[in-house]
Amino acid sequence: MARVYNFSAGPAVLPEEVLKEAAEEMLDYRGCGMSVMEMSHRSKVFETIIQEAEADLRELMGIPDNYKVLFLQGGASQQFAMIPMNLMKNGVADYIITGQWAKKAYQEACLYGNAKAIASSADKTFSYIPDCSDLPIDEDADYVYICENNTIYGTKYKTLPNTKGKILVSDVSSCFLSEPVDVTRYGLIYGGVQKNIGPAGVVIVIIREDLITEDVLPQTPTMLRYKTHADAGSLYNTPPAYGIYICGKVFKWLKKKGGLTAMKEYNEKKAKILYDFLDGSKLFYGTVRKEDRSLMNVPFVTGNADLDAKFVSEAKAAGFENLKGHRSVGGMRASIYNAMPIEGVEKLTAFMKQFEAANL
Protein backbone atom coordinates (compact mmCIF):
# COMPACT_ATOMS: atom_id res chain seq x y z
CA MET A 1 0.00 0.00 0.00
CA ALA A 2 1.34 3.40 -0.97
CA ARG A 3 -0.44 6.50 0.20
CA VAL A 4 0.25 9.69 -1.74
CA TYR A 5 0.48 13.22 -0.41
CA ASN A 6 -2.99 14.41 -1.33
CA PHE A 7 -3.28 18.18 -1.75
CA SER A 8 -6.89 18.06 -2.94
CA ALA A 9 -9.16 20.99 -2.00
CA GLY A 10 -11.99 18.59 -1.25
CA PRO A 11 -12.89 15.88 -0.69
CA ALA A 12 -9.52 15.92 0.97
CA VAL A 13 -6.95 14.12 3.06
CA LEU A 14 -8.17 12.56 6.33
CA PRO A 15 -6.02 11.44 9.29
CA GLU A 16 -4.55 8.03 8.63
CA GLU A 17 -5.28 6.91 12.21
CA VAL A 18 -8.96 7.64 11.63
CA LEU A 19 -9.09 5.69 8.38
CA LYS A 20 -7.32 2.71 9.98
CA GLU A 21 -9.65 2.69 12.96
CA ALA A 22 -12.67 2.87 10.65
CA ALA A 23 -11.24 -0.01 8.62
CA GLU A 24 -10.84 -2.12 11.76
CA GLU A 25 -14.43 -1.41 12.74
CA MET A 26 -15.84 -1.91 9.24
CA LEU A 27 -17.27 -5.42 9.57
CA ASP A 28 -18.05 -5.43 13.27
CA TYR A 29 -18.49 -2.14 15.09
CA ARG A 30 -17.42 -2.82 18.68
CA GLY A 31 -19.11 -6.17 19.01
CA CYS A 32 -22.37 -5.19 17.26
CA GLY A 33 -21.71 -7.70 14.49
CA MET A 34 -22.43 -5.07 11.86
CA SER A 35 -20.93 -1.97 10.30
CA VAL A 36 -22.09 1.53 11.28
CA MET A 37 -23.35 1.72 7.67
CA GLU A 38 -25.76 -1.11 8.39
CA MET A 39 -27.28 -0.10 11.68
CA SER A 40 -30.47 1.76 12.49
CA HIS A 41 -30.01 5.46 13.08
CA ARG A 42 -32.52 5.00 15.93
CA SER A 43 -30.37 2.40 17.68
CA LYS A 44 -28.73 3.04 21.07
CA VAL A 45 -25.33 2.47 19.47
CA PHE A 46 -25.82 5.16 16.83
CA GLU A 47 -27.36 7.51 19.38
CA THR A 48 -24.10 7.29 21.32
CA ILE A 49 -22.09 7.94 18.16
CA ILE A 50 -23.97 11.12 17.24
CA GLN A 51 -24.18 12.40 20.82
CA GLU A 52 -20.47 11.90 21.40
CA ALA A 53 -19.70 13.60 18.09
CA GLU A 54 -21.74 16.61 19.12
CA ALA A 55 -20.23 16.73 22.61
CA ASP A 56 -16.68 16.54 21.26
CA LEU A 57 -17.37 19.26 18.68
CA ARG A 58 -18.86 21.46 21.40
CA GLU A 59 -15.77 20.94 23.52
CA LEU A 60 -13.34 21.61 20.63
CA MET A 61 -15.03 24.85 19.55
CA GLY A 62 -16.30 25.95 22.95
CA ILE A 63 -19.85 26.13 21.61
CA PRO A 64 -22.12 27.84 24.15
CA ASP A 65 -25.34 26.13 25.34
CA ASN A 66 -27.54 28.60 23.47
CA TYR A 67 -26.27 27.31 20.13
CA LYS A 68 -27.57 24.19 18.41
CA VAL A 69 -25.35 21.84 16.44
CA LEU A 70 -27.05 20.26 13.42
CA PHE A 71 -25.72 17.47 11.22
CA LEU A 72 -27.43 17.93 7.85
CA GLN A 73 -27.16 16.86 4.21
CA GLY A 74 -27.16 18.69 0.90
CA GLY A 75 -23.63 20.02 1.22
CA ALA A 76 -22.63 23.59 1.82
CA SER A 77 -24.51 24.54 -1.35
CA GLN A 78 -27.87 23.67 0.16
CA GLN A 79 -27.17 26.17 2.92
CA PHE A 80 -27.02 28.88 0.25
CA ALA A 81 -30.83 28.47 0.09
CA MET A 82 -31.58 27.38 3.65
CA ILE A 83 -29.98 30.47 5.14
CA PRO A 84 -32.20 33.02 3.37
CA MET A 85 -35.28 30.80 3.65
CA ASN A 86 -34.89 30.63 7.41
CA LEU A 87 -33.27 33.93 8.33
CA MET A 88 -34.62 36.56 5.91
CA LYS A 89 -37.39 37.82 8.17
CA ASN A 90 -37.20 41.36 6.72
CA GLY A 91 -36.33 40.04 3.29
CA VAL A 92 -32.96 41.79 3.26
CA ALA A 93 -29.42 40.46 3.60
CA ASP A 94 -25.92 41.80 2.95
CA TYR A 95 -23.31 39.67 1.21
CA ILE A 96 -19.55 40.18 0.96
CA ILE A 97 -18.30 38.67 -2.28
CA THR A 98 -14.82 37.23 -1.85
CA GLY A 99 -14.99 34.41 -4.39
CA GLN A 100 -17.14 31.92 -6.20
CA TRP A 101 -18.69 30.35 -3.13
CA ALA A 102 -19.75 33.69 -1.67
CA LYS A 103 -21.07 34.68 -5.09
CA LYS A 104 -23.10 31.50 -5.42
CA ALA A 105 -24.56 32.02 -1.96
CA TYR A 106 -25.44 35.59 -2.93
CA GLN A 107 -27.05 34.54 -6.20
CA GLU A 108 -29.13 31.94 -4.41
CA ALA A 109 -30.26 34.46 -1.79
CA CYS A 110 -31.41 36.76 -4.61
CA LEU A 111 -34.09 34.15 -5.37
CA TYR A 112 -35.64 34.68 -1.95
CA GLY A 113 -35.30 38.35 -1.12
CA ASN A 114 -33.33 41.53 -1.45
CA ALA A 115 -29.76 40.29 -1.21
CA LYS A 116 -27.16 43.02 -1.57
CA ALA A 117 -23.52 42.68 -2.50
CA ILE A 118 -22.03 45.30 -0.17
CA ALA A 119 -18.35 44.60 -0.88
CA SER A 120 -16.34 42.53 -3.32
CA SER A 121 -12.78 41.68 -4.27
CA ALA A 122 -13.73 40.65 -7.82
CA ASP A 123 -11.70 43.60 -9.21
CA LYS A 124 -8.46 41.74 -8.45
CA THR A 125 -9.57 38.17 -9.10
CA PHE A 126 -10.52 37.71 -5.43
CA SER A 127 -6.86 37.84 -4.37
CA TYR A 128 -7.61 39.82 -1.21
CA ILE A 129 -10.23 40.38 1.50
CA PRO A 130 -11.91 43.80 1.27
CA ASP A 131 -11.79 46.26 4.15
CA CYS A 132 -14.88 45.40 6.16
CA SER A 133 -14.53 47.89 9.00
CA ASP A 134 -17.20 50.33 7.81
CA LEU A 135 -19.48 48.77 5.24
CA PRO A 136 -22.86 50.15 4.11
CA ILE A 137 -24.82 47.61 6.14
CA ASP A 138 -28.55 47.88 5.43
CA GLU A 139 -30.57 48.94 8.45
CA ASP A 140 -33.05 46.17 7.72
CA ALA A 141 -30.48 43.49 7.00
CA ASP A 142 -31.38 40.20 8.65
CA TYR A 143 -27.76 39.12 8.49
CA VAL A 144 -24.35 39.78 6.97
CA TYR A 145 -22.92 36.85 5.04
CA ILE A 146 -19.27 35.93 4.53
CA CYS A 147 -17.25 33.03 3.18
CA GLU A 148 -14.49 33.01 5.78
CA ASN A 149 -11.86 30.99 3.93
CA ASN A 150 -11.96 31.15 0.16
CA THR A 151 -11.00 27.68 -0.97
CA ILE A 152 -10.44 28.52 -4.64
CA TYR A 153 -8.51 31.79 -4.21
CA GLY A 154 -6.68 31.08 -0.94
CA THR A 155 -7.78 34.08 1.09
CA LYS A 156 -8.98 34.16 4.71
CA TYR A 157 -10.55 36.83 6.90
CA LYS A 158 -8.08 37.67 9.69
CA THR A 159 -10.61 39.97 11.33
CA LEU A 160 -14.35 39.51 11.07
CA PRO A 161 -16.41 42.29 9.43
CA ASN A 162 -17.96 45.01 11.51
CA THR A 163 -21.61 44.04 11.03
CA LYS A 164 -22.90 47.05 12.97
CA GLY A 165 -24.93 44.85 15.25
CA LYS A 166 -26.33 42.56 12.56
CA ILE A 167 -26.04 38.80 12.76
CA LEU A 168 -22.96 37.32 11.10
CA VAL A 169 -23.42 34.18 8.98
CA SER A 170 -20.24 32.41 7.93
CA ASP A 171 -19.33 29.61 5.54
CA VAL A 172 -16.29 27.97 7.13
CA SER A 173 -16.23 24.87 4.92
CA SER A 174 -12.51 25.07 4.18
CA CYS A 175 -11.25 26.35 7.55
CA PHE A 176 -13.52 24.37 9.89
CA LEU A 177 -11.60 23.38 13.05
CA SER A 178 -8.31 24.73 11.69
CA GLU A 179 -8.02 27.26 14.54
CA PRO A 180 -9.96 28.41 17.62
CA VAL A 181 -13.11 30.48 17.00
CA ASP A 182 -15.30 32.67 19.18
CA VAL A 183 -18.69 31.18 18.34
CA THR A 184 -20.53 34.01 20.11
CA ARG A 185 -19.51 36.41 17.33
CA TYR A 186 -21.72 34.53 14.86
CA GLY A 187 -25.41 33.85 14.48
CA LEU A 188 -24.72 30.89 12.25
CA ILE A 189 -21.53 29.04 11.28
CA TYR A 190 -21.66 26.23 8.78
CA GLY A 191 -19.53 24.09 6.58
CA GLY A 192 -19.49 21.02 4.41
CA VAL A 193 -17.21 18.58 6.18
CA GLN A 194 -15.42 17.18 3.12
CA LYS A 195 -12.70 19.83 3.22
CA ASN A 196 -11.28 19.55 6.69
CA ILE A 197 -13.33 17.11 8.77
CA GLY A 198 -14.80 14.06 7.09
CA PRO A 199 -16.40 12.41 4.08
CA ALA A 200 -18.68 14.32 1.72
CA GLY A 201 -22.36 14.14 2.56
CA VAL A 202 -22.44 15.93 5.92
CA VAL A 203 -22.81 19.64 6.52
CA ILE A 204 -22.55 20.95 10.07
CA VAL A 205 -24.60 24.00 11.08
CA ILE A 206 -23.98 25.77 14.37
CA ILE A 207 -26.85 28.19 14.94
CA ARG A 208 -27.91 30.44 17.79
CA GLU A 209 -31.12 29.10 19.28
CA ASP A 210 -33.16 32.30 18.99
CA LEU A 211 -32.64 32.22 15.19
CA ILE A 212 -34.43 28.89 14.92
CA THR A 213 -38.08 29.84 14.52
CA GLU A 214 -41.24 28.87 12.66
CA ASP A 215 -41.16 32.27 11.02
CA VAL A 216 -39.58 31.18 7.75
CA LEU A 217 -40.34 32.09 4.14
CA PRO A 218 -43.66 30.66 2.92
CA GLN A 219 -43.39 27.22 1.29
CA THR A 220 -40.04 26.45 2.86
CA PRO A 221 -39.90 22.64 2.69
CA THR A 222 -39.97 20.82 6.02
CA MET A 223 -36.53 19.38 5.32
CA LEU A 224 -35.09 22.86 4.76
CA ARG A 225 -36.25 24.31 8.09
CA TYR A 226 -33.63 24.47 10.81
CA LYS A 227 -36.39 23.93 13.36
CA THR A 228 -37.23 20.52 11.91
CA HIS A 229 -33.70 19.27 12.52
CA ALA A 230 -33.12 21.13 15.78
CA ASP A 231 -36.29 19.69 17.32
CA ALA A 232 -35.31 16.18 16.26
CA GLY A 233 -31.65 16.30 17.30
CA SER A 234 -30.59 15.89 13.65
CA LEU A 235 -32.62 12.66 13.49
CA TYR A 236 -35.77 13.91 11.75
CA ASN A 237 -35.03 11.52 8.91
CA THR A 238 -32.12 9.18 8.26
CA PRO A 239 -28.99 11.29 8.74
CA PRO A 240 -25.71 10.70 6.88
CA ALA A 241 -24.87 8.22 9.60
CA TYR A 242 -21.55 6.84 8.41
CA GLY A 243 -20.25 10.32 7.65
CA ILE A 244 -21.18 11.53 11.12
CA TYR A 245 -19.35 8.54 12.59
CA ILE A 246 -16.15 9.47 10.73
CA CYS A 247 -16.52 13.13 11.75
CA GLY A 248 -16.78 11.95 15.35
CA LYS A 249 -13.50 10.09 14.98
CA VAL A 250 -11.83 13.19 13.55
CA PHE A 251 -13.08 15.23 16.52
CA LYS A 252 -11.46 12.72 18.88
CA TRP A 253 -8.26 12.83 16.81
CA LEU A 254 -8.25 16.64 17.10
CA LYS A 255 -8.74 16.44 20.87
CA LYS A 256 -5.83 14.04 21.12
CA LYS A 257 -3.69 16.44 19.07
CA GLY A 258 -4.32 19.15 21.66
CA GLY A 259 -7.44 20.82 20.27
CA LEU A 260 -7.76 23.85 18.05
CA THR A 261 -5.01 25.97 19.64
CA ALA A 262 -2.47 23.25 18.94
CA MET A 263 -3.97 22.75 15.48
CA LYS A 264 -3.55 26.42 14.67
CA GLU A 265 0.12 26.35 15.69
CA TYR A 266 0.68 23.27 13.56
CA ASN A 267 -1.16 24.79 10.60
CA GLU A 268 0.83 28.02 10.88
CA LYS A 269 4.09 26.14 10.96
CA LYS A 270 3.06 24.07 7.95
CA ALA A 271 1.83 27.00 5.85
CA LYS A 272 4.93 29.07 6.69
CA ILE A 273 7.20 26.47 5.08
CA LEU A 274 5.35 26.82 1.79
CA TYR A 275 4.81 30.58 1.89
CA ASP A 276 8.45 31.25 2.85
CA PHE A 277 9.55 29.15 -0.08
CA LEU A 278 7.19 30.96 -2.47
CA ASP A 279 8.41 34.36 -1.24
CA GLY A 280 12.03 33.40 -1.92
CA SER A 281 11.45 31.53 -5.17
CA LYS A 282 12.57 32.89 -8.54
CA LEU A 283 10.12 30.65 -10.40
CA PHE A 284 6.99 30.28 -8.28
CA TYR A 285 4.96 32.98 -6.63
CA GLY A 286 1.84 33.13 -4.46
CA THR A 287 -1.18 34.93 -5.88
CA VAL A 288 -2.75 36.29 -2.68
CA ARG A 289 -2.10 39.55 -0.80
CA LYS A 290 0.18 38.51 2.05
CA GLU A 291 -1.95 39.66 4.96
CA ASP A 292 -4.96 37.74 3.64
CA ARG A 293 -3.28 34.39 3.02
CA SER A 294 -5.14 31.25 4.00
CA LEU A 295 -3.49 28.60 6.17
CA MET A 296 -5.48 25.94 4.33
CA ASN A 297 -5.38 26.65 0.60
CA VAL A 298 -2.20 27.96 -1.02
CA PRO A 299 -2.51 28.97 -4.69
CA PHE A 300 0.66 29.64 -6.67
CA VAL A 301 1.81 29.99 -10.27
CA THR A 302 4.94 30.22 -12.38
CA GLY A 303 3.36 32.74 -14.70
CA ASN A 304 3.64 30.31 -17.61
CA ALA A 305 0.70 27.96 -18.17
CA ASP A 306 2.82 25.30 -19.92
CA LEU A 307 5.31 25.25 -17.09
CA ASP A 308 2.45 25.05 -14.57
CA ALA A 309 1.10 21.98 -16.37
CA LYS A 310 4.57 20.42 -16.48
CA PHE A 311 4.94 21.00 -12.74
CA VAL A 312 1.57 19.45 -11.92
CA SER A 313 2.33 16.40 -14.01
CA GLU A 314 5.86 15.87 -12.64
CA ALA A 315 4.62 16.43 -9.09
CA LYS A 316 1.96 13.78 -9.60
CA ALA A 317 4.56 11.31 -10.84
CA ALA A 318 6.55 12.03 -7.67
CA GLY A 319 3.57 11.27 -5.39
CA PHE A 320 2.13 14.77 -4.85
CA GLU A 321 -1.47 14.58 -6.02
CA ASN A 322 -4.16 17.12 -6.87
CA LEU A 323 -1.97 20.21 -7.13
CA LYS A 324 -3.79 21.61 -10.15
CA GLY A 325 -5.49 24.92 -9.38
CA HIS A 326 -9.26 25.32 -9.64
CA ARG A 327 -10.46 25.24 -13.25
CA SER A 328 -11.54 28.88 -12.97
CA VAL A 329 -8.10 30.23 -12.00
CA GLY A 330 -5.50 27.79 -13.33
CA GLY A 331 -2.00 27.48 -11.89
CA MET A 332 -1.50 25.37 -8.80
CA ARG A 333 -3.11 25.08 -5.40
CA ALA A 334 -1.86 23.10 -2.45
CA SER A 335 -4.59 22.46 0.10
CA ILE A 336 -2.88 21.71 3.38
CA TYR A 337 -5.74 20.91 5.74
CA ASN A 338 -5.40 19.66 9.34
CA ALA A 339 -4.68 16.09 8.26
CA MET A 340 -1.82 17.00 5.88
CA PRO A 341 1.32 16.05 7.78
CA ILE A 342 4.15 18.59 7.95
CA GLU A 343 6.40 16.11 6.09
CA GLY A 344 4.05 16.41 3.13
CA VAL A 345 4.67 20.14 2.91
CA GLU A 346 8.42 19.78 3.51
CA LYS A 347 8.71 17.22 0.75
CA LEU A 348 6.56 19.25 -1.64
CA THR A 349 8.75 22.30 -1.02
CA ALA A 350 11.90 20.26 -1.64
CA PHE A 351 10.37 19.00 -4.88
CA MET A 352 9.50 22.56 -5.93
CA LYS A 353 13.10 23.60 -5.26
CA GLN A 354 14.35 20.84 -7.55
CA PHE A 355 11.84 21.76 -10.22
CA GLU A 356 12.92 25.37 -9.99
CA ALA A 357 16.59 24.50 -10.41
CA ALA A 358 15.78 22.36 -13.47
CA ASN A 359 13.45 24.83 -15.15
CA LEU A 360 14.69 28.33 -14.40
Binding site for ligand PLP (CB under 6 A): 10, 75-77, 101, 147, 151, 171, 173-174, 192, 195
Q: Quick one: 145 or 251, whose CB is closer to ligand PLP?
A: 145
Q: How far is the CB of 101 from ligand PLP (least distance, A)?
A: 4
Q: How far is the CB of 152 from ligand PLP (least distance, A)?
A: 8
Asked about 308 being catalytic, the answer comes back as no
Q: How far is the CB of 150 from ligand PLP (least distance, A)?
A: 7
Asked about 101 being catalytic, the answer comes back as yes
Asked about 253 being catalytic, the answer comes back as no
Q: Quick one: 81 or 147, whose CB is closer to ligand PLP?
A: 147
Q: How far is the CB of 100 from ligand PLP (least distance, A)?
A: 8
| 127-162: b (≥16 Cβ within 10 Å) or e | bbbbebeebebbeebbbbbbbbbbbbbbbbbeebbe
Instruction: Point out the catalytic residue in the list 101, 142, 253, 308.
Output: 101
Instruction: Point out the catalytic residue in the list 56, 142, 171, 292.
Output: 171
Residue closest to ligand PLP when measured from CB atoms: 75
Q: How far is the CB of 172 from ligand PLP (least distance, A)?
A: 8
Instruction: Point out the catalytic residue in the list 195, 249, 270, 324.
Output: 195
Q: Quick one: 77 or 349, whose CB is closer to ligand PLP?
A: 77
Q: Quick one: 176 or 320, whose CB is closer to ligand PLP?
A: 176
Q: Quick one: 75 or 233, whose CB is closer to ligand PLP?
A: 75
Residue numbers annotated as active site? 101, 171, 195
